[in-house]
Amino acid sequence: MTKILRLALTLALALAAAPALAGDPGWGIDITAHGGFDKYDAVGLKNGLNATDFSSSQQLKDASQSFGATAILRLGMLDLGAIGELGRPGKSNTTTVLGAMGGVNLDVGPLRLEALAELGGHRYGNAVHNSTIISESTGSDWLAYVGLRPGLSMKLGESGRWLLGVWAFARWDITSKTVPVNLAGGGQGEYKLGGSQFGGQLRFGFSL
């Protein structure tokens, strides 16, 4: 009889706690889309190439746009996730980011503070181009990178499942590559690829 009472009490406590656990806002998945502006410093012209022969856009030095999506698993104050991003849409020298993220979050009322780190791959497509100087190509190069992504978001709606926020981010390539190019007038030149990227983005999505 004692064992039955203990089992019944344990079951009753578990059933009573289940709704609270199910409604725990510290556990879940955030799925968001983001977009914003950024700036690169990732190209160094070398033999046979002069900066005066290229516009800022042609050597990846202009302000540009980026759009992407993230999925973040929240385990209490711990965040683990993934990011995919397309940079410079509509331009000849596009970029792509695929990476993993990890960090911490802190909820303060309707606000959530996040401090995330990134680790992944950074693709540069046709980073330097000018058909009057370089024979056109469609080559692309992948470099490894690390990054930081602090953010602030707020919960919207009665359920608090919608998210609206802002992110700042910085990335640094931890590998580099010397890229040879064929000059339109004959001969070869080269440039060094690898550097940094900084920017800010708006973010919108929902929590599961």
Q: Which residue would you say has higher pLDDT here, 121 or 57?
A: 121
Domain edges within the chain: 26-207
* Amino acid 110: pLDDT: 83
Arithmetic mean of pLDDT, 110-122: 95
CA 71 – CA 87 distance, rounded (Å): 18
- The residue-averaged pLDDT of 184-197 equals 86
The closest alpha carbon to 140, from 127, 121, 158, belongs to 127
Grade residue 163 by pLDDT with cuts at 50, 70 and 90: very high
Q: Give me the mean pLDDT over the 58-67 stretch.
A: 91
Query: What is this structure's pTM?
Result: 0.80
Please state which CATH class domain 26-207 belongs to: mainly beta
Environment class of residue 62 by beta-carbon count within 10 Å: exposed (0-12), middle (13-18) or buried (19+)?
A: middle
The 10s digit of each residue's pLDDT in 137-150 is: 667 899 999 999 99
Structure confidence at residue 25 (pLDDT): 53
pLDDT at residue 104 tops 90: yes
**3-class SS string, 158-175:** CCCCEEEEEEEEEEEECC
pLDDT score at 139: 77
User: With 70 as the cut, is the pLDDT of residue 65 above it?
Assistant: yes
Question: Taking 60 as the threshold, does the pLDDT of residue 80 lie above it?
Answer: yes
Q: How sure is the predictor about 20, in pLDDT bands with cuts at 50, 70 and 90?
A: very low
pLDDT band at 59 (very low <50, low <70, confident <90, very high): confident
- Mean pLDDT for the chain overall: 85
Position 155 pLDDT exceeds 60: yes
- Predicted pLDDT of residue 17: 40
Question: Rounded CA gap, 127 and 92, in Å?
Answer: 8
- Higher-pLDDT residue of 136, 62: 62
pLDDT of residue 138: 60
Exposed/middle/buried for residue 10 (C-beta within 10 Å: 0-12, 13-18, 19+):
exposed
